[in-house]
Structure 1
Amino acid sequence: MVADKRKYNILIVEDNPGDFALVEDFLFEHIEAPQILQAKSFKAAKENSLISNCMFDVILLDLSLPDCAGKSLINEIVDLCKNIPVIVLTGYVDFKFGVKSLSLGVSDYLLKDELNSTSLYKSIVYSIERKKSIVELAESEKRYSDLFHLSPLPMWVVDMDTSCFLDVNMSTIIHYGYSRDEFLSMTLKDIRPPEGVFEKDIEEGKRNPG
């Protein structure tokens, strides 16, 4: 298999020298020149400025560190590096905890006893791409939200079936004189526009959803 020539900056948070050496060997089997840094404790990882500056592409995390472990460790690491995918490597077979860890923000959960170079490489590539997509989606949603809420023109979002307000921007609040909470308990008909302009708009929207 041809080695992946892309640049990967990888942090391995692992205190066991044997496990670290094995994971390192696995990485070199599929990645031509990975940049690997080891942290032997949570404290060492936390103090690394490269994490806070999001300079790693992925973090490989052992769940049994000398100064932190399990759920607490996951919460700390994920909170520390929100935009960096975290892959848990553990020797403990606990399906329920594996599922739970994914809900805590971990990208993948791999058992050390079943780990091989191919499964690790595939997990890294998938986790990086998935995290990238999530970040891009969040940025896109923020741009839309900013355009909506900062627009000088009154704008709102309504349920097409019930005509209930789902969201309004500040310009709408200022223009019509209702608070946001009041709008969210109202429908388009409640603000009684002249000549039924809003009702006409919503009916046209139903007929032309695109």
Structure 2
Amino acid sequence: MKSLETELNILIIEDHPPDAYIIEQMLRSSAFKVKEIHHAGLLSEAHAILEENTINFVLLDLSLPDSFGIDSFLGIRNSTRHIPVIVLTGGTESAAALKALQLGAQDYLVKGEFGTDMLTRAIRYSIERKVAAEKIRASEKKYRQMFYKNPFPAWIYDPESLQILEVNEAAQLKYGYSKQEFLKLTIADMRPPEEIPAMRLSVANRHLPQTRNRKVWKHKKKNGEIILTEVTFYEIDYHGKVAMQAQMDDVTERNRLEKELAKQQRENQQQINRAILDAQEEEKKLLGAELHDNINQILATAQLHLAPCEKKQADDMMARSRTYIAMAIEEIRKLSKSLITPLFITKGLEHAIEELATDIGVLKGIHIATELEPLGDPCLSELLKLNIYRIIQEQLNNIIKYADASEVHLQVTAAAGNLTLLISDNGKGFDPKIQARGVGMINIRNRAELFNGTVEVDSAPGKGCRIKVVLTLPVRSGTKRKGTIPAQ
């Protein structure tokens, strides 16, 4: 479609020569650049001219010897789909002219009632409207090609009824439905039942600013297979009505790989944590043995040598020395006991925890109340028992060092494959955002992660502290009594 600045080839279809002459003179005196004006007195002649020439504009009289009324326009419509047409009528043909406008004519003029200026305006506006319509048509054609040939599945649906209105080839291949089958479905038919309420809410709230236009949903294929899809949706104009277009990206495999990667990363971190904790345990064991077997023996020997001196000289200083050495031996004994891996086999984990709480309570003057469910020692691995013990020991040491507490409550419960440790105190508390990143808390978190566990810290200045550790344990086959930890 040419613009107004180019030379125009115009076709006048008029069987009355005087009228044709007047119109031609108006055109030549107008502001248009007219290259050539063609004349046709019959509709058949007009067809021949349209086939042999490039025509930019048509003026059509509806009353012709071989055609009349709306049939005249219909007779050339196929040949002029991309050419603007102005209908010329007599005073009694207004109904036919209006019908022609509905069917694609750009304008109509009543013969004898228009001059050069009106004809010029009518032609100008007709060409401009046709150019705009052609651009829209080309854009729609391009859009249709983009939609139907899009490698990603896509469909268009009514946001009120959810009825699918259009679907592309990629969606047919992905979901297994033919186009005819798709057009009988709603987007609710593509979802598992549990997601339909959330989907309806998402469509209803599509205009709200917090509504995201990209979400991951479960979709159901024709064969019943459930896939994960990342859906991007937005409003479009569909034949003059509001519709929604959705494009789907199958992320099932990507989601599986991401989960595998996250699992591998967790396992790698668990291996690192275990290696660190094993090294710490070995170091503690060596240090504890050295304190007990070497330094303690030296102090014991010194005490033996001081004994006869005290008897002979009755020296008060000697007596004090023996007392201090005895105190040092006892402190080293307690220290080495806390460092060396506890022997759970002989007395059991519950007894070890009770003994730990009693020793610390007596030594530091703190009341430690314990509430321990039967832990089912035979079902626990040595690694698990050791980490339960060390987590409790670590937090009790934290309370001693920092909390200034007088009351501590220690609770251990077990149910449904989970072991829960709750340790609370009435101390001075702290801000977890600032002080929950110390070495002790890091050790607790690392030990918990070995068993896919979680650690929660609830504290505030002046409010004491409550730490909750949940260890998620794999359940083996077989019946377990209530409250018993499953085997590792």
Same fold (TM over 0.5): yes
Aligned to 1:46: 47
Aligned to 1:147: 146
- 1:92 aligned counterpart, secondary structure: coil
Aligned to 2:243: none
Aligned amino acid, residue 25 of structure 2: D
Aligned to 1:112: 111
Aligned to 2:65: 66
Stretches of structure 1 that go unaligned for 5 or more consecutive residues are none
| More displaced 10-residue stretch of structure 1: 126-135 or 25-34 | 25-34
Distance of 2:153 and 2:29 partners within structure 1: 57
Aligned to 2:250: none
1:49-128 matches, within 5 Å, as 51-52=50-51, 55-128=54-127
Q: Is the 8 A contact 2:69 2:93 kept in 1?
A: no
Report which structure shows greater RCO (CA 8 Å, sep ≥6). 1
Aligned amino acid, residue 136 of structure 1: K
TM-score of the superposition, structure 1-length normalised?
Answer: 0.84
Offset of residue 111 of structure 1 = 0.5
Aligned amino acid, residue 7 of structure 1: E
Distance of 2:195 and 2:53 partners within structure 1: 52
Q: Is the 8 A contact 1:6 1:31 kept in 2?
A: no
Offset of residue 46 of structure 1 = 0.8
Offset of residue 107 of structure 1 = 1.4
Offset of residue 172 of structure 1 = 0.9
Distance of 2:66 and 2:187 partners within structure 1: 57
Distance of 1:180 and 1:5 partners within structure 2: 46
Q: Is the 8 A contact 2:89 2:97 kept in 1?
A: no
Deviations 1:140-160 (A, max 9, x none): 111111111112221111223
- 2:64 aligned counterpart, secondary structure: coil
Structure number having the greater strand percentage = 2
Deviations 1:53-82 (A, max 9, x none): 772221011122222222221101112221
Q: Is the 8 A contact 1:54 1:81 kept in 2?
A: no
Distance of 1:38 and 1:54 partners within structure 2: 12
Change (3 A) 1:191 1:33: closer
Distance of 1:106 and 1:141 partners within structure 2: 20
- 1:44 aligned counterpart, secondary structure: helix
Offset of residue 32 of structure 1 = 5.2
Aligned amino acid, residue 18 of structure 1: P
Deviations 1:106-143 (A, max 9, x none): 21111112021111111111111111111211111111
Aligned to 2:168: 169
| More displaced 10-residue stretch of structure 1: 146-155 or 23-32 | 23-32
Q: Is the 8 A contact 2:69 2:96 kept in 1?
A: no
Distance of 1:20 and 1:200 partners within structure 2: 64
Aligned to 1:10: 10
Does residue 31 of structure 2 align to residue 31 of structure 1?
Answer: yes
Distance of 1:104 and 1:21 partners within structure 2: 28
Change (3 A) 1:52 1:129: farther
Change (3 A) 1:32 1:105: closer
Distance of 2:94 and 2:62 partners within structure 1: 14
Deviations 1:3-52 (A, max 9, x none): x864222111112221111101111222354121112221211112xx24
Identity %: 36
- 1:113 aligned counterpart, secondary structure: coil
Instruction: Determine which structure has more spread, i.e. the larger CA radius of gyration.
Output: 2
Distance of 1:151 and 1:202 partners within structure 2: 28
Q: For this pair of structures, how many residues does the alignment match?
A: 205
Root-mean-square deviation (CA, aligned residues, Å) is 2.7
- 1:114 aligned counterpart, secondary structure: coil
Distance of 1:61 and 1:169 partners within structure 2: 41
Q: Is the 8 A contact 1:54 1:83 kept in 2?
A: no
Change (3 A) 1:169 1:42: same
